Amino acid sequence: MKITRKDFLRLSGLSFLAAGTLEAARAVAGSDSSAQNSPGKPSAQPVRWGMVVDVQKCRKDQGCDACIGACNSAHNVPHLADPKHEVKWIWTEPFENVFPFEQSEYAQQTDAGIPIPLMCNHCASPPCVHVCPTQATWKRDDGIVMMDWHRCIGCRYCMAACPYGSRSFNWVDPRPAIAHINPDFPTRTKGVVEKCNFCEERLAQGLRPACVEACPEKALVFGNLADPNSEPRQLLRKRFAVQREPELGTGPSIYYLV
Amino acid sequence: MRDRIWIIAGLALFAVVVTAPFWSERTPAKDLTKVPNLVLPVNQKDCVAPVSYMRASHMVLLLRWREEAVRQGQRRYVAFDGKVYDKSLTKTCLGCHNKEQFCDRCHTYAGVSGPYCWNCHNQPQTNVAGISPRSMP
């Protein structure tokens, strides 16, 4: 078969044109399908889970520990007698230790000794995440500072980095110290660090955190801080709220209405 | 040639000692030739993957589930036959299988010394009747 130079050029041109059209059609179809998918992800509301603790409503001073009990039984948190081995997800400290900047002599008289419920602050810029050498702890897109106990090597850098004391190390096997094991949540093992996970396993099922549901006074208000109309944001607009040690720049997601 | 008797006796003794494991009744070698006595689930016919894959690569699947469920928040697993499962060792795997009668027996037989799953992961209540969770290794 003989082919002239003119025919060759004409054929090449047509081939390139056909290939180009196909590619363009594919690109248009691709952008169409991504446009159809987009309402699912990018246009969805950004989420940053957070909590507001109404100290005035909290009845910790009357001995209520419903939130702590609910958390401990939901997450198999051990109750170890030795304070050096203590493991805590949500716990209390006296007001003057939590908010040392509020220590005027008169404030001390009224507020001193009032127990304040504390937990992991799920910081916007979590120091524990920055120091973890194995990425066993990391910040999720919804703001939860998560832990992967499979990866934790027990180096305790995160405990040194956390300014809030929110992390505990398992110095001993926690299982014997758990009164009733909840089979739906794993226990931990000796040699890993643990902390509050904002009940991410409950959030995945559309439930609120166990402590929030357990509070008889509704003193713990949980919601999406990125949504201006969420319950915590409405409270934060109305009332004066403080974070723990905001000057450290960690950006805690737990606010206290004092 | 006066030592012939001793040489033959020595060779016979040697043969007896060397072949002892093959014919002695006290040796456990015979037991090791048996396959482990696995108790299969009665309530389910299908697993999350074909038996051949699970037998060879269940650990790969478990590691993938672990990464996806914990780190990527993807908790639903669509199996090869289209069924949807929860990516959960306790709820899905142990929902059918019994740890002592399935996992442990094969691991012991194959000489697989402990994956550390059970240091943290629990057995579901229905399977632990009579077995304290604390007795797990």
Q: Residues 30-59, chain B: which have Cβ within 8 Å of A?
A: none
Q: Is the pLDDT of residue B134 over 60?
A: no
Strand partners, A92: A117
The whole-number pLDDT of residue B42 equals 85
Tens of pLDDT, residues A125-141 = 999 999 999 999 999 99
Answer whether B120 touches A (CB < 8 Å): yes
d(CA B29, nearest CA chain A) in Å: 36
In chain B, the residue whose alpha carbon lies closest to the alpha carbon of A148 is B70
Torsion of CA A145, A151, A153, A156, to 10 degrees: 0
Contact across the interface for A204 and B119, Cβ inside 8 Å: no
- A149 interface with B at CB cutoff 8 Å: yes
Separation between Cα atoms, residue B137 and residue B117, nearest integer Å: 10
Chain B residues whose CB is inside 8 A of the A176 CB are: 134
Which chain B residue shows the shortest CA-CA distance from A187?
B120
Cβ distance B70 to A176 less than 8 Å, yes or no, reads no
Q: Please indicate if any CB of chain A lies within 8 Å of the CB of B76.
A: no
> DSSP string of B54-118?
HHHHHHHHHHHHHIIIIIS---EEE-TTS-EEE--IIIIIHHHS-IIIIIIHHHHHHT----THH
Q: Which of B71, B73, B121 sits opposite A186 (nearest CB)?
A: B121
Residue B28 pLDDT class (50, 70, 90 cuts): low
Find chain A residues with C-beta within 8 A of B127's C-beta.
none
Has residue A37 got a pLDDT over 50?
A: no
CA A45 vs CA A32, A33, A229, A233, B54: distances in Å: 22, 21, 12, 15, 40
CA distance B76 to B105: 29
Q: pLDDT tens digits, residue range A84-119? A: 999 999 999 998 889 887 777 766 667 778 899 999
Give pLDDT tens digits for A197-206: 999 999 999 9
CA distances from A52 to A6, A96, A234, B21 (A): 78, 19, 10, 72
Cα–Cα distance measured from residue A77 to residue A178, given in angstroms and rounded to the nearest whole number: 7
Cross-chain residue pair B120–A176, CB shorter than 8 Å: no
ipTM: 0.74
A140 touches chain B (CB under 8 A): yes
> pLDDT, tens digit, for every residue of A204-223?
999 999 999 999 999 999 99
CB contact under 8 A, B119 and A189: yes
Q: Which pLDDT score, from 0 to 100, does residue B126 have?
A: 54
Q: How far from chain centre, in Å, is Cα A76?
A: 19
A49-257 belongs to which CATH class?
alpha beta
B71 close contact with A: CB closer than 8 A: yes
pLDDT tens by residue, B66-108: 999 999 989 999 988 888 999 999 989 998 999 889 999 889 8
Beta pairing class for A254-257 and A49-54: parallel
CA distance A31 to chain B (A): 26
Model pLDDT, residue A258? 83
Q: What confidence score (pLDDT) does residue A27 get?
A: 84
Query: Using CB atoms, which residue from B66, B73, B123 is nearest to A150?
Result: B66
Closest chain A residue to B90, measured at CA: A184
Q: What is the pTM of this model?
A: 0.74
* Chain A residues closer than 8 Å to B120 by CB: 149, 186-189
The sign of the dihedral angle between the CA atoms of A15, A16, A21, A27 is positive
